[in-house]
Structure formats: structure tokens, C-alpha cells
Amino acid sequence: MGRTRIKPGKVRLTEVAELAGVSPITVSRFFRNPDTVSPGRRARIESAAKELGYVPNLAARALASQRTEVIGVLIPSLTNNVFADLLRGIYDAFEGSRYGIQLANTRYSVLQEERLLQLFLMQKPAGLIVTGQDQTAEGRTVIEAADCPVVQIMELGADPIDMMIGFSHVDACYAAISHLLGQGCRRIGFIGARMDPRVQRRLQGYQKAMKDAALFDPRLIVTAPVPTSATMGGSLFSDLLLKAPDLDAVFCANDDLALGVLFECQRRHIAVPEQVAIVGFNDMEFMAAAVPSLTSVRTNRYDMGRRAATMIMDAIEGRPVAQRVVDLGFEVIQRESSTLQRAAATLPPQAGRISGTKW
Amino acid sequence: MGRTRIKPGKVRLTEVAELAGVSPITVSRFFRNPDTVSPGRRARIESAAKELGYVPNLAARALASQRTEVIGVLIPSLTNNVFADLLRGIYDAFEGSRYGIQLANTRYSVLQEERLLQLFLMQKPAGLIVTGQDQTAEGRTVIEAADCPVVQIMELGADPIDMMIGFSHVDACYAAISHLLGQGCRRIGFIGARMDPRVQRRLQGYQKAMKDAALFDPRLIVTAPVPTSATMGGSLFSDLLLKAPDLDAVFCANDDLALGVLFECQRRHIAVPEQVAIVGFNDMEFMAAAVPSLTSVRTNRYDMGRRAATMIMDAIEGRPVAQRVVDLGFEVIQRESSTLQRAAATLPPQAGRISGTKW
DNA sequence: TTGTACGCGTTATCAA
DNA sequence: TTGATAACGCGTACAA
């Protein structure tokens, strides 16, 4: 038979209630919403709890209430700095709230993502933040089964699961290429690594811009499925130089690639931007510090995290969510590495902005 | 009275058991350890579960079993790239295991840490990974109350809570300075930002090395409490040049600072390493790609994460943990930015290694 | 290998 | 504002 499993030292709600001379439910109320308990009992409960060292049992709470305060966050990479800013935004927004973030890493695999969503489901999360829009059909089913507010981040697209916040990678890259075209560049290369869905869409933007300008040439594109890094930027650029020696600019799908290209140019004594202009993507911190400073496409990752978190909380707590699909836009931050006209060259750093948004 | 709260569509263990024609406990066993159920029933249970779309309820499981499979991880920053590698190691090691990682961000605040530990405690985590050894007394009490295996990472020190894995920041920095001294540098500056406990210890190592060489001069030290960045590296280096114009080397407490120093040198046309040698700390990926390539102190962050995770799992599952305190050591990776002697200059990159460990 | 009986610690529901 | 009662879904302990 199920014998008694009572462990002596354990402090439950009941013990606190006894010591405080109230019923357990009152103690429960005190912990969830102190204002619903009269001041006198409030004080008694508080001191009783402190005296006994009471710690609420979240499992029991979740079982009884049929919900948790867990927010599941699914991102494809912990290494990619892009997600650091995003996460900072998310963590900042949830700071001091009652929600706890549970972070999972899909490693750019939709199957991993599916499995991780299954695990989240067992926890009955209060909300879900997932990266991108390329979930499997199975994955979407699981998300829907979770029956909680969901925000898809990083991208925009048709058919959102619930809410969505991001920007158009196609448009952002198109704007970057347009900027280079505006600077007089014609033989603009594209280098990209890892080639996840978002980088693929940047490549689409590149192709569209080059085709629209009747300058498209497949030899100008060099990609690799490996993780992005400065070293890889240097080697992809070297490959590109072989395929297209008459290159006059390079768009890098990530900033670390751009940094590697800059160093490779220094190594080969290629003048930037005079011989080759460089544009990166994401506008990481070091881009402004580089010599020459490096042009990049700024994306509002921190804001994206914050707002995604806010949208989730609003939805959970029944507040109306003004916009269920938010376009955060982007901005081409022009710096020395792509400033070729005399007039433009005298602008202060970061003065040149080409921004895009659907608002 | 507590009326029935039964929601019709809900699938519990019981429903699966009924459909499969077995008792609930058998289904329970099937999900936790399929091998303990006979193949015939196994198949019936599996198809019944699939048919009903059964999802285990983790809260109920945790309540009944009095434990969870949550591993709490506490790190001070998501922005600092150092932690990205560490986390990758941790996530890789737990990959495919039954444990789930819950990540919390202390933002370099011991009070935040204390609060977050409290939150973990309510979940009854199976294990805890915490950064550093500077918990408050309260924090240590909470950790001990969690009554689970604990690994402190990043540093080594006396008085571990339970297990510990890291390296000596004092020794690592001492080795880096010794390397510069060996290259003939005498006026070696120190620049550091954020000044968390580990950076403080690097500063101690610097001071010890300089004092041992009778070359200590407080004017050679410039620090700032702000987050580390390339831009900050440039500006701290500029400050340092004002205080010590006769500088012949700079040790940077973080690699992004070193990158900023390199760019500042390029901007000022200071030859690296001939006029100023540069050494960084952590050996981030871009250090090898830079022109000139940048010397740094390699720390085994990925390994640290992996091994911390392994130690935790071993401890949880009752396997003996060979070493409860692990010194991972470090390695000074000598590159062009600190290679001043003719002989050394012909060495291939990364050929120079000065490693330190207590093994 | 399978089943029986019960308890895990909390909250929902309804009544006072 | 407070309390009585039952239920949340599962695993442990023991027996067969």
C-alpha cells in the first residue's frame, strides 16, 4: 500500500498556516496576492513563513492551478551574437515579473525545434517565443496544442501562428545593395555563411537588387554552410576574389564576415573603400570601431526582444495587444567602408541612414 | 465544496491506460523506462498514447516524485561572448539527456543572483551550475538548501560549495605579462572594463607580475566599470597613452578591448607590435584573423561547460565524480601582436604556447 | 513484470 | 475577507 512518505523537516503551506493560526488557503492567497488578505493575518503569515523558512512548491502550484509561469524561448544558436542582444531584451523585459524564462537551443534544426517544443508542451508554458517562420507542420501543431500566446521573432511573413515581430531580411539586404549601387559600385559580391533561412532571404534581396539593376552575375556569390566567423569571412572573400577579380564591393551577410573581409583586405593591401567597399549586416558594436569604420545594416534586436516579451505578457494577462504583427524595420548605417563620394566622405560617422519599415 | 474540475478533452495517464487495457502505473513505467514493460503492452501503450495525443504532465510528475529534471544555470551576462562558448558546452553535454536547462542572468549582481537562486529553489532543481565564487552568504545558504549537486564554474578557489571547474585568472594574467616581459617589453599597460571579480583577479595577476619584475607603475593601469567593447578598448587605450606615453605593450582584460586597441593603433599609425605589443584575454575567434594577428590567453570555455555538465550528471545519477575540483588551465597563444624577437617572428601562428595548469 | 492503494502540496470552487 | 472540501495527474512503496 502507499505508505506514508512524510518527511519530518518539510515545510508546507499547512505548517505555515498552523503557526500563523489561519487556514492553508489564506496562506496560499497571501503568497499569490497579499492584498487579498487582511493586514493582521498578513503580518502573522509573513513572520510564520520566515520563521519556518517556507519555500513554495512550484510543482504543486502548477498541478493545482493547471498553469505555470514559464515562458519558453527557442533560438537557433547561442554562439551567434545576434541572439545575445535579443535575449538581453527578453530578459530585461521579464525582469521583476513573475515569469521565468526557459531557453532552448535548436541549433538551426527544425527537428530539434520540434522535439524541444514537445518538451515545452509538457510544462504547460504561459507563453512561447520562437525564432523564424520555418517550423515544421508538426512543430506548428505542437505550438497550437500549447494553447498559449506565441510570438515569432526575427522575421516577418504571411501566416503568423499568433503574433510576430521582426523585419524583412529581403528588404534590408535590398536596401544595403541599393546603397552600394548609389555609391557607384557595380560589381558587388555577396558572401554568406551558415545559410539559415534568414541569410537565404538576404541572398534573395541581393539577387533582386542586382537583377533590378541589370548587374546580376552568379559568380559574385560565395556561400558556405559552416558557422559564420571572421576567419571564414577572410577565406570566402579570397574565394570571391578568384571568381570575380574585378569586384568593387562586398556585402557580407553577417558582421563577423565583414570584419574578416576587412582584415583580408589589410593583408592584401586592398584599399577600403577605394578598391573594395564593404557592407555588413546586424551592426554589431565593433563595426563602428573598425578602421575604416564599417557600414552595416542595423536591426533592432534588443527592442525586438523587449517588445516580444511585452506582447507575450500583454496577451497572457488579457490586455489587448495593439499590433499582433510588428515590423521593426532596419537602417543602413553608412560608414567609411562604403563612402565613396567626396561629399559623403565629410559626413560624421553614422550620419548616413537609409531606413526601411512597413509602418 | 471543491467541485469537479474535470475538463472533458483532457488526456491523462488513466485514459491511455484504459485504451491500452493496462493499469495506469504500467503506462507511467512505459514513459519513464520502456524496458521495464513487456513488449506486447509496450506496443499497445505506445499506440494508445499516440492515438489520444497524450502529453505527460511534468508538474504532476514533479509533485509525485519530489524531484525534477531541471538544471539551473546562473551566469552574469548574455552579452559577453565568453558565456556563449560556455553555454554551448553545457547545452551540448545535456543534449539528448533527460535534463532541461534553465538559464538565469544575474547581470553581475550578487543580489540578483540571490533572488534567482530563490526562484530555482522553488523548482527543486536536479542540479545547479553557478558562475564564480563570490556568492553572498545568503546565496550560499539557498544553494545548500537546494540540496542538489552544484558546480561553480569559471574560477578556482578555496572553499568550493560542492564541485568546481575553472582556472586561475591570477595565474593566467601573470603568464601573459611574463610572456610580454620575455619579449622585452617593460612599460606594459593594463586596460580592463566592467571589472567583475574575474577581471579584478586578472588585474591582481598583472600587479604581481609587474611587481615581481620591479616594473610596477600605477599609471600603467586604466580601468572602467562599463561593459567591455571594442570602442571602449580604443578609448581606454587613448587614456592610457596620456598617462603613460612611453608604453611599449598593453594587456587587455578582454579580447574586444584588444580589438579596439588594435584599431586605435591603426588610427594613430602606431606600429603593432614594434611600438606597442598587444595581448588580449579569452582568445575569441577574431583574434587569429586580425592583422596583425592578436596574441591572447586561451581559456577552455567550451570544455568547461561540457565538463561542468558531465560532473553534474554524474553526481545526480550517483556515479563517482573523479575530481570535484578541476583546473582547466589556460594557454598563452602567441601571435604577431606580441612577437618581437627575430627568431620568434618566424614561428607559424599559434606555435608559441605557454600553458598553465595545476594538474 | 504488473497491479493496488495512497499521498505529493497546492489551488479552484463554492459557501459563509 | 475567510474557510471547507475536493481535485490536480502522477509516482512510490509494497505486494503479488
Do B183 and B172 meet the contact criterion of CB atoms below 8 Å apart?
Answer: no
Q: Are A1 and A119 part of one and the same domain?
A: yes
pLDDT of residue A349: 43
| Same domain? A120 vs A194 | no
Q: Is the CB of A64 under 7 A from strand D?
A: yes
Give contacts of B105 with chain A, Cβ < 8 Å: 87, 91
Residue among A57, A229, A285 minimizing CB distance to B230: A285
Q: What percentage of residues in chain B have a pLDDT greater than 90?
A: 81
**For residue range A22-64, what is the model confidence (pLDDT) as tens digits?**
999 999 999 999 999 999 999 999 999 999 999 999 999 999 9
Tell me the pTM.
Answer: 0.91
Q: How far is A273 from chain B (nearest CA, A)?
A: 16
**pLDDT of A79:** 84
Nucleotide nearest to A1 (CA to C1'): C5
Q: Is residue B357 predicted with pLDDT exceeding 70?
A: no
pLDDT at B345 over 80: no
User: A258 pLDDT exceeds 70?
Assistant: yes
Q: For residue B128, is pLDDT > 90?
A: yes
Write the pLDDT tens digit of every residue in B55-83: 999 999 999 999 899 999 999 998 888 99
How far off is chain B from A244, nearest CA to CA, in Å?
Answer: 23
Quick check: A25 and A69 in contact, CB under 8 A?
no
Place of cell 509533485: B63
Note the pLDDT of residue B322: 86
Read off the CATH number of the domain in which B308 is found: 3.40.50.2300
pLDDT above 70 coverage of chain A, percent? 92
Are residue A284 and residue A265 in the same domain, yes or no?
yes
In a domain, B206, yes or no: yes
* Contact between chains at A288 and B231 (C-beta distance less than 8 A): yes
CB pair distance less than 8 Å for A55 and B100: no
Distance CA A329, CA A326 (A): 9
Verify that A185 and A138 share a domain, yes or no: no
pLDDT of residue A217: 98
Residue B78, pLDDT score: 85
Nearest to A68 by CA among A26, A144, A127: A127
pLDDT for the residue B24: 92
Please check whether residue B313 is in contact with residue B95, taking contact to mean a CB–CB distance below 8 angstroms.
Answer: no
Banded pLDDT at A7 (limits 50, 70, 90)? low
Residue of chain B whose alpha carbon sits nearest to that of A233: B289
Instruction: Check CB contact under 8 Å for A91 and B85.
Output: no
Are A78 and B57 inside 8 Å of each other by CB? no
Look at residue A8 in the predicted model and tell me its pLDDT.
58
- Does residue B192 surpass a pLDDT of 50? yes
For residue A140, being part of any structural domain is answered with yes
pLDDT recorded at residue A9: 63
Span A116-123, average pLDDT: 92
Count of domains for chain B: 2
pLDDT for residue B100 is more than 50: yes
In this prediction, residue B255 carries a pLDDT of: 98
Q: Is residue A42 part of a domain?
A: no
3-state SS, residue B340 = coil
| Predicted local distance difference test score (pLDDT) of residue B234 | 98
Q: What confidence tens digit (pLDDT) does each residue in B196-247 have?
A: 999 999 999 999 999 999 999 999 999 999 999 999 999 999 999 999 999 9
Judgement on whether residues B223 and B317 belong to the same structural domain of the protein: no
- B260, closest residue in chain A (CA to CA): A289
B160 lies in the same domain as B177: no
- At residue B231, the 3 state secondary structure works out as helix
pLDDT at A354: 56
What's the pLDDT score for residue B354? Answer: 56
Q: What is the pLDDT of residues B142-152, one digit of tens each?
A: 999 899 999 99
Q: Considering chain B, what is the average pLDDT of its residues?
A: 91
Note the pLDDT of residue A96: 84
Q: Decide if pLDDT at B162 tops 70.
A: yes
Coil vs helix vs strand at B104 = strand
Note whether A255 and A313 are same-domain residues: no
Do A4 and A123 have their domain in common? yes
Q: Is residue B183 part of a domain?
A: yes
CB-based contacts of B354, cutoff 8 Å, min separation 6: B175, B178, B179, B331, B332, B334
Strand D closer than 7 A to residue B33 Cβ? no
Average pLDDT over residues A226-253: 97
Q: Where are the beta strands (DSSP E) in chain A?
A: 70-75, 100-105, 127-131, 150-155, 163-167, 188-193, 221-224, 249-252, 277-279, 296-299, 325-327, 330-334, 352-356
Q: Which of B59, B104, B145 sits opposite A59 (nearest CB)?
A: B59
Task: For residue B111, say whether its CB is under 7 Å from any atom of strand D.
Answer: no
Residue B192: name the closest of B156, B171, B220, B155 by CA: B220
> For strand D, is any atom closer than 7 Å to the CB of A29?
yes
Q: Give, rounded to a whole angstrom, the gap between the first and last alpha carbons of chain A.
A: 66
Q: In what order do the strands lie in the sheet with B100-105?
A: B100-105, B70-75, B127-131, B150-155, B163-167, B325-327
- How far is A215 from A186, CA to CA, in rounded Å? 7
Does B203 map to a domain?
A: yes
> Per-residue confidence at B96, pLDDT binned at 50, 70, 90?
confident
Specify whether A139 is located in the same domain as A179: no
Evaluate whether residue A53 is within a structural domain: no
B100 and B148 inside one domain = yes
pLDDT recorded at residue B318: 87
CA A277, A278, A279, A285 dihedral sign is negative
Is A21 contained in some domain?
no
* Residue A65 and residue A31 in contact, taking contact as beta carbons nearer than 8 Å: no
At residue B79, the pLDDT reads 84
Using CA coordinates, name the residue in chain B closest to A289.
Answer: B231
Residue-wise pLDDT tens digits, B27-58: 999 999 899 999 989 999 999 999 999 999 99
Is the pLDDT reported for residue A350 higher than 50?
no
- Of all nucleotides, the one whose C1′ comes closest to residue B36's CA is C1
In this predicted structure, the answer to whether residue B183 has a pLDDT above a threshold of 90 is: yes
Full residue range of the structural domain in which residue B107 is found? 1-9+66-166+300-328
pLDDT of residue A181: 97
Do B72 and B118 have their domain in common? yes
Contact residues for A19 (Cβ-Cβ < 8 A; gap 6+)? A48, A51, A52
Residues B286 and B216 in one domain: yes
What pLDDT does B81 receive?
A: 85
Average pLDDT on A189-201 reads 97
Please name the residue whose C-alpha is nearest to the C1' of nucleotide D8. A64
Confidence of residue A240 (pLDDT cuts 50, 70, 90): very high
Mean local confidence (pLDDT), A210-229: 97
Residue A310: pLDDT band with limits 50, 70, 90: very high
- Report if residue B14 sits inside a domain: no
